[in-house]
Structure 1
Amino acid sequence: MSLFQNIVIIILLIIGGGFLSLTEIALAGARKVKLKILAESGEERAQKVLDLQVNSADFFAASQIGMNAIAILGGILGEAAFRPYFVTLVDRFYDGPWTQSIGFALSFTLVTSLFILFADLMPKRLAMIAPEKIAIAVINPIQIFIIFCRPLALFINAIANLIFKLFKVNTKRDDNITFDDISAVMDAGAQAGVLQKQEHHFIENVFELEERNVPSSMTTRENVVYFTLNESEASIRQKLAEYPYSKFLVCSKNIDDVIGYVDAKDILVRILNNQSLLQLNESTIRNVLIIPDTLTLSELLDRFRSSKEKFAVVINEYALVVGVITLSDIMITVMGDWVTPIEEDQQIIKRDNNSWLIEGSTPIEDMKHALEIDEMPDEESYETLAGFMMYRLRKIPRPADTVVFGDYKFEVVDVDHFKIDQLLVTRLSSEQPTYKEEE
């Protein structure tokens, strides 16, 4: 064959190899979620791609047959076509025993470079840009190619399957989506500007509902305002005026003897109608939802949905009331400052770029968000910042007790009757050990 004919054949081989490389990366990289959306919108080729991904052995066998055959044939033709011309070129500058070897090396380098550049590298990079679109575009011709190569592909796959079976290799593709996968997609969306910062924050908080327990968002026992059955009218009026709550617990004598709850709206109606409040009765007391403190916020949402309630009492394993929680508390956990007035949210006060005043009752998840900490040690052992200090110090903390974790120093500022009221958290400028305690 003439040089022109060889060049035409080599170009066709490069195009064929590039097509197979493009197809291989596109079909492997096409995302199942996007393909399903396209298939549901009526794109039949998207469903064909999904089916091929499930049974990909025939395609990869056919692809490797084609690519290796093209590479071998291209090498043979290229060496035969270009070697004489390179030998002639070398003869002009060098006349010796290595002339043929140099000509072979130059022709080999030229053909290999052409195939690497145009049949491998560039097609694969193009396929990574839009794998779904390219996979849909090439699915019909590649299916014809698979049928053509099927006899040899079946033989090769049989040998491969036998080897995998001997070495007990699982070849099934795992398409399960984990939280880490979704989190990575959200991070990528935030970096690309598709998700705004607050939207990214909301989505992260929604997923955290499955991990955060009820105590992390409830109103703790010491902050619960409640009425007793013998509460005086003056006391009821004073609590209504002093505390901006819509619901109040009703207890027999103390907080652990819960009877139900009253809605502030019902009491205000009685006041407006000049009715007596000397005794709370069945017309105003409602049944209250009682839940264990081991529930997650996600499970509590299901309880609220099934019971049609928005208010619950949280008890521990000893049947003691540890707090109350409302649907609004869960929404505040998700939305943060967007539903909580800034002047009312005093749990975390930023003093400057490197220090914060934080209440001991602050949930660990809220503290992690504020300080941009990814993970705290042994998080399952405590719910609040005060719990973290007690867990690390292994004692009841006193003012000036300090724990250093990572790049942060946690110092107890105020303690009231063994309860940690406030801590000063400082970001350290110098690198510190992972864990250290001081008194």
Structure 2
Amino acid sequence: MDGTSLTALSVILVGLIMLSAFFSSSETGMMSLNRYRLRHMAKTGHKGAKRAQGLLERTDQLIGVILIGNNFVNILASSIATVIAIRIWGDAGIAIATLLLTIVILIFAEVTPKTLAALFPEKIAFPASYVLGPLLKILYPVVWAVNLFTGAILRVLRISASDAASDHLSREELRTLVNEAGALIPAKHKDMLVSILDLEKVTVNDIMVPRNEISGIDLDDDTDAILHQLRNSQHTRLPVFKGDINTIQGILHLRNTTKLLQRDDINKAMIMQLCQEPYFIPESTPLNTQLINFQKEKRRFGIVVDEYGDVLGLATLEDILEEIVGEFTTDYAATSPDIIPLEDSTFIIDGTTSVRTINKTLGWNLSIDGPKTLNGLITETLENIPDTNVCLKVEGHRVEVLQIKDNVVKAAIVHPKIPRKRANLIQTP
């Protein structure tokens, strides 16, 4: 073999190694594509994305054509390298060719191209799709035969393609995807998206205004007291009941009372004519379901009842929206009359304040699986109703009861949780 032949074989060998690198990078690039981003790009008309998506619809055929091409060029490269090495080094050339070609293919045709493809899958996969598509058509009979034997082997092993994991995201996977979106999604938008996913975990019982805080119109009151309440109410909708909140007669929208309040002969019957039929909500209804129910019933206000029909509280559309977008006030901790910050980083908290409100306002992690209010947390921890002001620890927070009235903790001072390391330092003598 003369020098010209050796040179020609060497050029062919280099070309085969480059083809091997192409097939290796194509495989990794195609498999590393973000399928959801790929679908989006294909819908927007990106030609490379459309071709790649079409190839990935039959993954078995795509992998088949890539592996057929890769194995063919690698085996051919090995044969040519052996011929060249024997010509140069004689019989020892077989071992030398095996060693050198293994190193070259490993570095230049496997690790390097696959690493680049994993880092930049779109830049590798989209151009490669223009080659892999026609190549698949040319080699289709070979690919079909290979896949036929492969499918037979999988059936012997009792493995079906339908057993493969679904390409759809679960709720928790979608939550992780949103949280790891980085700067692509603003932090506020992330919080809203995650809150929407969490709606099914929260019931109306968790966000309702409790029964003892409901402001309504009692028809047993005299007319003057009712008129005074209508003129000075801070709410747009008021439940109308007779004697007891469980005997709700209707819901009054104050917008409808504007003309009525200008009359001198107003009476309770006129007020009842303006009332809307009450809308009742079971306490265990998830918020995502209730949001749809509000929309279906064209309501913004509902009375929450337990399994016996007794009124537990009320829930509004605004309450559900606040679970998604957050409080509508700019600084809830500063404006809320239920949570008052003190100079020593502690807080005076009203006993009826919900645990969810405390967590959202102060960024704490008190358990919401048990009692719904601070009073409930305190009484559950003590296992009785305190008759004097006491100090206790609730889930790592020091709580000092300030006021007790009618067997209910009205107010308490709550300290932030002390970090574990700091607590250990404090306890060290």
Preserved CA contact (<8 Å) 2:341 2:348: yes
Q: Which residue of 2 aligns with 1:92?
A: none
Residue 312 of structure 2: SS of its match in structure 1?
strand
The correspondence of residues 99-178 of structure 1 with structure 2, limited to 5 A, is: 100=92, 104=95, 108-132=98-122, 134-171=124-161, 172-178=164-170
Q: Which residue of 2 aligns with 1:235?
A: 225
Residue identity opposite 2:394 in structure 1: V
Preserved CA contact (<8 Å) 1:259 1:287: yes
CA 1:203–1:348 in 2, change beyond 3 Å: closer, same or farther?
Answer: farther
Structure 2 residue corresponding to 1:401, chosen from 392, 402, 411: 392
Q: Does 1:260 align with 2:263?
A: no
Gaps of 5+ in 1: 89-98, 434-439
Q: Which residue of 1 aligns with 2:190?
A: 200
Residue 282 of structure 1: SS of its match in structure 2?
helix
Aligned partners of 2:205 and 2:312: how far apart in 1? 8
**TM-score, with normalisation over the residues of structure 1?**
0.79
Aligned partners of 1:353 and 1:154: how far apart in 2? 75
The C-alpha deviation readout for 1:315-340, integer Å capped at 9, x for no partner, is: 01010111111111122222223446
Residue identity opposite 1:175 in structure 2: D
CA 1:324–1:17 in 2, change beyond 3 Å: closer, same or farther?
Answer: same
CA 1:213–1:239 in 2, change beyond 3 Å: closer, same or farther?
Answer: same
Aligned partners of 1:16 and 1:387: how far apart in 2? 71
Preserved CA contact (<8 Å) 1:224 1:324: yes
Preserved CA contact (<8 Å) 1:23 1:127: yes
Q: Does 1:285 align with 2:275?
A: yes
Structure 1 residue corresponding to 2:299, chosen from 293, 299, 309: 309
CA 1:125–1:385 in 2, change beyond 3 Å: closer, same or farther?
Answer: farther
Identity of aligned residues (%): 19
RMSD: 3.6
Q: Which residue of 2 aligns with 1:50?
A: 53
Q: Does 1:411 align with 2:414?
A: no
Preserved CA contact (<8 Å) 1:291 1:315: yes
Aligned partners of 1:179 and 1:78: how far apart in 2? 53
CA 1:341–1:129 in 2, change beyond 3 Å: closer, same or farther?
Answer: same
1:141 deviates by: 1.9
**Aligned pairs, number:** 412
Q: Does 1:300 align with 2:303?
A: no
Residue 286 of structure 1: SS of its match in structure 2?
coil
Residue identity opposite 1:413 in structure 2: V
The C-alpha deviation readout for 1:120-162, integer Å capped at 9, x for no partner, is: 2333333334434643432232122223443443343334333
Gaps of 5+ in 2: 424-429
CA 1:303–1:126 in 2, change beyond 3 Å: closer, same or farther?
Answer: same
**TM-score, with normalisation over the residues of structure 2?**
0.81
The correspondence of residues 285-364 of structure 1 with structure 2, limited to 5 A, is: 285-339=275-329, 342=332, 343-347=334-338, 361-364=352-355
Aligned partners of 1:353 and 1:5: how far apart in 2? 84
Preserved CA contact (<8 Å) 1:397 1:412: no
CA 1:428–1:113 in 2, change beyond 3 Å: closer, same or farther?
Answer: farther
Aligned partners of 1:120 and 1:352: how far apart in 2? 63
